[in-house]
Amino acid sequence: MRMLSTKATCNSHGQDSSYFLGWQEYEKNPYDESGNSKGIIQMGLAENQLSFDLLESWLAKNPDAAGFKRAGEFIFRELALFQDYHGLPDFKKALVEFMAETRGNKVTFNPNHLVLTAGATSANETLMFCLAEAGEAFLLPTPYYPGFDRDLKWRTGVEIVPIHCTSSNDFQITESALEEAYQEAHKRNLRVKGVLVTNPSNPLGTTMSRSELNLLINFITAKSIHLISDEIYSGTVFGSPGFVSVMEVLKDRNCDNTQVWNRVHIVYSLSKDLGLPGFRVGAIYSNDEMVVAAATKMSSFGLVSSQTQYLLSALLSDKKFTKNYLTENQKRLNQRHKMLVMGLQKAGISCLKSNAGLFCWVDMRHLLRSNTFDAEMELWKKIVYDVGLNISPGHSCHCAEPGWFRMCFANMSEKTLNLAMQRLKAFVVESTAKINNQSNYHHSSKNSKRKSIPKWVFRLSSRDCDRDRESDER
């Protein structure tokens, strides 16, 4: 008799992705300036640690909020007993106002259409449960966040069909790519229920253009399907063009009270804009009353604690603080982004021009020994194990072109980022020298009419080979 469920024993969680394997290697040998200076630097974590001082300063000036007091009186008992899965009204009001602020107050949100969830992970999965059956599909533009393979598929049974975007137009969505993905789903006998996009994009670090958003709205209107816009990075836009929410485009098109109005849904979280992933605060916003009702019931499996809601309600209601925070945080992100780009340039590496997020989409195609994903993995292993940088390979993001990598820049100090760039530059210099030596060797061998054998290959240490065998066994 089977002792465990199929779900417990299946291997569809996505944990064997190189995205997660890089984290595992980092955790075995984490960089520490004083304790482990040769360790792996974590550049695979999209975490915003640049503005904690602003949050800590606010907490120091507002001890009642952190101490669970209202007008000097303890309300701990009230918060400890509160269990309504609709959420604290004051917090939902403060959250939708903050969402509007990150979008330049060009759109407003009704708190009655907001569903609180334990992070954006829970929000996206909940929407899958609300909008699709197991075996139905959502279309996602590539490259996309590797965690979606887990978040959208593992428990729901929903399938992902990629919308293949390419570097030829900076990975923007095209009408032909949308249609090809839709037809591919039908070839696989999958009913398409919607499109999910991340705006600003993870891993590209770019905002979607208004023309792309209009294209998406036209597409879902023609196909009578849903659109989920994950706008978790909306407050991290530090350069032009500015952020345009899908809600803004819907309003400009006078889509209020139309069918498409009810088929567009937004996911949001405070994990990136405020740098609070540990607080587990996410949200679904939908104009469809049935989706809101169903998602609210499902949220009982992943509630946001009332204590967290109370604290953040006080913080987000301080409009002077939120305005200053968003401005200063975006300024710091811009400065740190420039540091990474300049460091990459000094190493002879370019990246996609970006204006948002906590990462860059880095082009290392010239460092591949061949234009294959096998070569990408060889390069990635070299960077993780020998250089000591955990970055995310494009293959884990389902990029169609080998040689692209995501590098995060907001989860470390300036000193650590500078060290990471020094390590990378040294690696590129050494690798380029080997390539040149190999080229010279070939040229010399050809002149002497002797058969040449390439000498320069990526060599894994015995420890790395053991890791590969362990990964295969898992």
State pLDDT tens for residues 152-169.
Answer: 999 999 999 999 999 999
The answer on 290 and 376 residing in a single domain is no
Query: Which residue segment(s) compose the domain that 364 sits in?
Result: 6-52+323-473
Q: Which pLDDT score, from 0 to 100, does residue 444 have?
A: 55
Q: Which pLDDT score, from 0 to 100, does residue 438 have?
A: 62
Q: Which pLDDT score, from 0 to 100, does residue 295 have?
A: 95
The answer on 167 and 95 residing in a single domain is yes
Question: Is residue 57 one of the residues assigned to a domain?
Answer: no
The answer on 110 and 205 residing in a single domain is yes
Q: Can you name the residues that pair with 140 across neighbouring β-strands?
A: 162
The answer on 250 and 235 residing in a single domain is yes
What is the count of structural domains for the chain?
2
Q: Which positions are annotated as active-site residues?
A: 145, 230, 232, 272
Q: Which pLDDT score, from 0 to 100, does residue 447 have?
A: 53
Question: Is residue 282 one of the residues assigned to a domain?
Answer: yes
Amino acid present at 295: A
Q: Which pLDDT score, from 0 to 100, does residue 455 have?
A: 38
Which of 319, 343, 366 represents a domain boundary (last residue)? Answer: 319
The answer on 300 and 329 residing in a single domain is no
Question: Is residue 44 one of the residues assigned to a domain?
Answer: yes
- Cis geometry, peptide bond prior to residue 30 (ω within 30 degrees of 0): no
Instruction: Say which CATH number the domain at 88 has.
Output: 3.40.640.10
Question: Is residue 369 one of the residues assigned to a domain?
Answer: yes
Tokens linked to 427: 């690696």
Q: Which pLDDT score, from 0 to 100, does residue 440 have?
A: 61
Which of 285, 319, 353 represents a domain boundary (last residue)? Answer: 319
The answer on 309 and 219 residing in a single domain is yes
The answer on 199 and 111 residing in a single domain is yes
Question: Is residue 140 one of the residues assigned to a domain?
Answer: yes
List % helix, strand, coil for the chain (3-state, nearest 5). 50, 15, 35
The answer on 336 and 412 residing in a single domain is yes
* Cβ atoms 208, 230 nearer than 8 A: no
The answer on 186 and 330 residing in a single domain is no
Helix, strand or coil, per DSSP, at residue 147: coil
Question: Is residue 102 one of the residues assigned to a domain?
Answer: yes
Q: How many residues does the chain have?
A: 474
Given a cut of 70, the residues of the chain with pLDDT beneath it are 1, 11-16, 434-474
Determine the Cα angle at 340 with ends 339 and 345, to 5°. 100
The answer on 214 and 91 residing in a single domain is yes
Helix, strand or coil, per DSSP, at residue 36: strand
The answer on 460 and 438 residing in a single domain is yes
- From 392, 472, 463, 389, select the one nearest 20 (Cα to Cα): 392
DSSP, residue by residue, 56-119: HHHHHH-HHHHTTEETTEE-HHHHHH---TT--HHHHHHHHHHHHHHTTTSS---GGGEEEESS
Q: How far apart are CA 340 and CA 335, in angstroms?
A: 9
Which of 319, 350, 378 represents a domain boundary (last residue)? Answer: 319
* Cβ atoms 116, 304 nearer than 8 A: yes
The answer on 464 and 361 residing in a single domain is yes
Question: Is residue 60 one of the residues assigned to a domain?
Answer: no
Q: Which pLDDT score, from 0 to 100, does residue 468 have?
A: 41
Question: Is residue 58 one of the residues assigned to a domain?
Answer: no
DSSP, residue by residue, 437-458: HHHHHHHHHHHTT---------
Instruction: Say which CATH number the domain at 350 has.
Output: 3.90.1150.10
Q: Which pLDDT score, from 0 to 100, does residue 15 have?
A: 66
Tens digits of per-residue pLDDT, 25-80?
899 999 999 999 999 999 999 999 999 999 999 999 999 888 888 888 888 888 88
